[in-house]
């Protein structure tokens, strides 16, 4: 268990990181802070060529495992009222990545102190750009994880009780697809709508039609979400604009559902547009796949975690997405949830979301104990 002195140090670290958030791909100061902390512990920083984020290493020889934490923040104005609230206006650690990287630093300090006991190598991934869905792929493309046999990570959940650990096999977080649609009509005076092709009415009809995509196409037993999150058109009260745009996301857990949802999306958007006399341009952005926990490894991690922690549960899957899934396409992995506040608290990506410092020791132990257990298991 983390010592009180170590805990106090980690609380200060987490508050500092929370005060100084950086967006995906811009985590330069965060990376420098992490590098300095690890180097002061005499932990080796591996050469990767990454512009932000880093991979470090403790121990030597085989087997090789990896622990991952993400480090980027979101473009959100913080509304928590915390004494250590963001000093970077419009940027906030509203997903708790400050907690993730702090706990991995804490684990690094403990594992380094026990380096002579390690039965293999532990690679520490402080990953950039999780929110941009390209950070994990960047790390994999360096080849630095080519020898890794297993990888573990976690995400804090502010809507779960502090310290509760959720581990389930197979899909724990959804596949993510993003869409951006431009609806091209013909503008006109608001008093003479018959002289144009109304992009606003067409957009409204398209969005309404998309709400039937799940209800009348997907098996009701399957979890699929279609959300339009941004609509924009026009700039004054008496002119119908030429164009309108809308964007959003589709979340799925099943490959065939993902394919069908995309197919029906295109059909609905294009056919409704045609009926309203407008044209459309669809930009489809493929996000991470399902965060798929290796069944055998999940059972092992669940069992090992239950040995040292009394509150371990099988959680409900989350419709949120995670680019940890990108690692899992190449490496057997387990991704867990760790409760960081309490039921009814604001969830991830809310401007008033908060995570409690009391989560830190549990998250540190999740990394440390399971890393040691994995090295023991894979080394046999």
Instruction: Map out the domains of the chain as residue ranges.
Output: 4-172+291-378, 175-286
pTM given for the model:
0.94
Alpha carbon distances (Å) from 174 to 20, 61, 318, 320, 343: 29, 35, 7, 6, 21
Reported as a single tens digit per residue, the pLDDT across 64-94 is 999 999 999 999 999 999 999 999 999 999 9
Tell me: pLDDT of 4 over 60.
Answer: no
Token pair of 95, please?
Answer: 């997903």
Kindly report the number of other CB atoms within 10 A of residue 320's CB atom. 16
286 sits in which H/E element:
strand 279-286
Strands 64-70 and 150-161: parallel
Question: Tokens in use for 3?
Answer: 């010592």
Q: Is 309 known to sit in a ligand binding site?
A: no
Q: What six digits make up the tokens of 71?
A: 């480090």
Query: Does 349 count as an annotated binding residue?
Result: yes
Known binding residue 97? Answer is yes
User: Which residue is listed with tokens 């009260």?
Assistant: 237
SS3 238: coil
Whether the predicted pLDDT of 253 surpasses 80: yes
Query: Is there a binding annotation on residue 155?
Result: yes
Fold of 4-172+291-378: Aminopeptidase (3.40.630)
Query: CATH classification of 175-286 is 3.90.1640.10, yes or no?
Result: no
CA-CA distance, 306 to 1, in Å (whole number)?
15
What is the Cα–Cα distance from 174 to 165, expressed in whole angstroms?
19
157-181 pLDDT per residue, tens: 999 999 999 999 999 999 999 999 9
Q: 3-class SS at 301?
A: helix
Q: Beta strand pairing status for 279-286 and 175-184?
A: antiparallel
Match 């009391």 to its residue by tokens: 358
pLDDT (0 to 100) of residue 44: 98
| Percent of the chain scoring above 70 in pLDDT | 99
**380 band by pLDDT with thresholds 50, 70 and 90:** confident
pLDDT at residue 35 tops 90: yes
Determine the distance from the C-alpha atom of residue 184 to the mean position of all C-alpha atoms in its chain, rounded to a whole number: 33
Q: Does 115 show up as a binding residue in the annotation?
A: no
């Amino acid at each position: 268990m983390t010592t009180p002195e170590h805990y106090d140090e980690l609380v200060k670290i987490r508050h500092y990181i929370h005060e100084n958030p950086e967006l995906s791909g811009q985590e330069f100061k965060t990376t420098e802070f992490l590098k300095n902390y690890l180097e002061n512990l005499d932990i080796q920083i591996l050469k990767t060529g990454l512009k932000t984020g880093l991979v470090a290493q403790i121990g030597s020889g085989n087997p090789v495992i990896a622990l991952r934490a993400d480090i980027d923040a979101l473009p959100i104005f913080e509304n928590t009222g915390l004494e250590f609230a963001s000093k970077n206006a419009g940027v906030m650690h509203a997903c708790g990545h400050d907690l993730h990287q702090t706990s991995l630093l804490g684990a690094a300090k403990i594992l380094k102190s026990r380096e002579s006991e390690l039965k293999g190598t532990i690679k520490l991934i402080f990953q950039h750009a999780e929110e941009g869905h390209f950070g994990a792929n960047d790390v994999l493309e360096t080849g630095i994880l080519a020898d890794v046999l297993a990888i573990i990570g976690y995400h804090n959940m502010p809507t779960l009780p502090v310290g509760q650990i959720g581990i389930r096999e197979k899909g724990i977080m959804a596949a993510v697809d993003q869409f951006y649609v431009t609806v091209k009509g013909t503008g006109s005076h608001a008093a003479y709508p018959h002289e144009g092709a109304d992009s606003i009415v067409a957009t409204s009809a398209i969005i309404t039609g998309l709400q039937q995509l799940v209800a009348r196409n997907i098996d009701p037993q399957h979890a699929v979400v279609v959300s339009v999150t941004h609509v924009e058109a026009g700039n004054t009260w008496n002119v119908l604009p030429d164009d309108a745009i809308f964007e959003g996301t589709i979340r799925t857990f099943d490959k065939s559902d993902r394919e069908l949802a995309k197919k029906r999306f295109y059909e609905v958007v294009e056919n409704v547009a045609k009926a309203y006399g407008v044209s459309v341009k669809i930009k489809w952005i493929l996000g991470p796949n399902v965060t798929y926990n290796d069944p055998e490894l999940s059972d092992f991690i669940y069992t090992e975690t239950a040995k040292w922690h009394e509150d371990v549960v099988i959680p409900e899957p989350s419709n949120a997405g995670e680019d940890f899934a990108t690692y899992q396409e190449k490496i057997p992995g387990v991704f867990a949830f760790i409760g960081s506040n309490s039921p009814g608290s604001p969830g991830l990506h809310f401007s008033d979301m908060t995570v409690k410092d009391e989560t830190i020791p549990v998250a540190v132990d999740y990394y440390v104990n399971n890393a040691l257990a994995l090295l023991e298991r894979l080394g046999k």
